Amino acid sequence: MRKPIIAGNWKMYKTHAESVAFVKELAPRLAAYTGVESVVCPTFVALAGVCEALKGSGIGVGAQNLHWEAQGAFTSQIAPPMLQGLAEYVIIGHSECRAYLGETDEMINKKVKAALAYGLKPIIAVGESLTQNEAGQTAAVIGGQVRAALDGVDAANMTNIVLAYEPIWAIGTGKNASSAIAQDVIGGTIRKTLTELYGNSVAQGVRIQYGGSVKPDNMQDYMSQPDIDGALVGGASLKVDDFAKLIEAAAKAKGV
């Protein structure tokens, strides 16, 4: 069985002090839910503090991005070795990075390979725009993004990769994709693409999250779908009570 994984993407919210205080309050709330993997992804400057505060808690830490080069004249960027020891996961290909930082499929693929080379586990986000969705292009866009991100990644690495289906029109908008639509894209397009690339047994082992206006009151619905293995959560991960309720709902829905 795939272990459910819920990751909180804090985006550009919370100072270092706020991040540390948050996880200190969160950790005891999640202690009983060992059947669900919980991950928080704070801003880069809070990674060290959060990592220290979470030692021994079982809660994982992720970064929100990385550069593909190991070092160099890339002002403002963070290299994979800089994240070693601070982050287990790294979000790659978030639609906000694709839109505001000009990240292309090719850059995302380089980032995925760089993360893996340094022992970091990518959470690869893919998603279609509203225009693409309304034009009936969802499967083609998502299948294309998955193939591009994984170009040159071998099957042995797939256990270290999490995919996240995040329809752009559902992120931070309150307009979530229904659980049936999310299941259809995750099972019917993403896992099917993984099966074509790596075979059924590898594809069945890869965890795939849904992301886009996930809240405590709709979490159980998503998690009741057979191919949805967790969630990548923005807004609802910023409050201790909401985040804890997401984990509780995931544990209940999956019976873990």
Contacts with ligand PEP, residue ranges (CB under 6 A): 9, 166, 171-172, 211-214, 232-236
For ligand PEP, the closer of residues 3 and 239 by Cβ is 239
For ligand PEP, the closer of residues 38 and 203 by Cβ is 38
User: Nearest residue to ligand PEP, using CB?
Assistant: 234
Length of the chain: 256
Smallest gap from Cβ 209 to ligand PEP, in A, equals: 9
Query: Distance between CA atoms of 161 and 163, rounded to whole angstroms?
Result: 7
**Active site residue: 88, 103, 166, 248, which one?**
166
Smallest gap from Cβ 122 to ligand PEP, in A, equals: 14
Query: Distance between CA atoms of 93 and 105, rounded to whole angstroms?
Result: 8
Smallest gap from Cβ 95 to ligand PEP, in A, equals: 8
The CA-based dihedral angle spanning residues 44, 48, 54, 56, taken in that order and rounded to the nearest 10 degrees: 130
Smallest gap from Cβ 119 to ligand PEP, in A, equals: 23
67 included as an active-site residue: no
For ligand PEP, the closer of residues 203 and 246 by Cβ is 246
Contacts 24+ apart (CB under 8 A), 243-248: 243/8, 243/26, 243/38, 244/26, 244/29, 244/30, 245/216, 245/219, 246/6, 246/214, 246/216, 246/219, 247/6, 247/30, 247/33, 247/36, 247/38, 248/33
Give one DSSP letter per residue of 115-163, joined into a string: HHHTT-EEEEEE---HHHHHTT-HHHHHHHHHHHHTTT--GGGGGG-EE
**Active site residue: 37, 67, 88, 94, which one?**
94
94 included as an active-site residue: yes
Query: Distance between CA atoms of 15 and 20, rounded to whole angstroms?
Result: 9
For ligand PEP, the closer of residues 10 and 33 by Cβ is 10
Structure tokens belonging to residue 2: 């795939």
For ligand PEP, the closer of residues 203 and 244 by Cβ is 244
Query: Distance between CA atoms of 254 and 230, rounded to whole angstroms?
Result: 10
Residue with tokens 């693929």: 109
Q: Rounded to the nearest 5 degrees, what angle is found at the Cα of 182, between the Cα atoms of 171 and 245?
A: 65
Smallest gap from Cβ 210 to ligand PEP, in A, equals: 9
For ligand PEP, the closer of residues 60 and 234 by Cβ is 234
Smallest gap from Cβ 233 to ligand PEP, in A, equals: 5
| Residues noted as catalytic | 94, 166
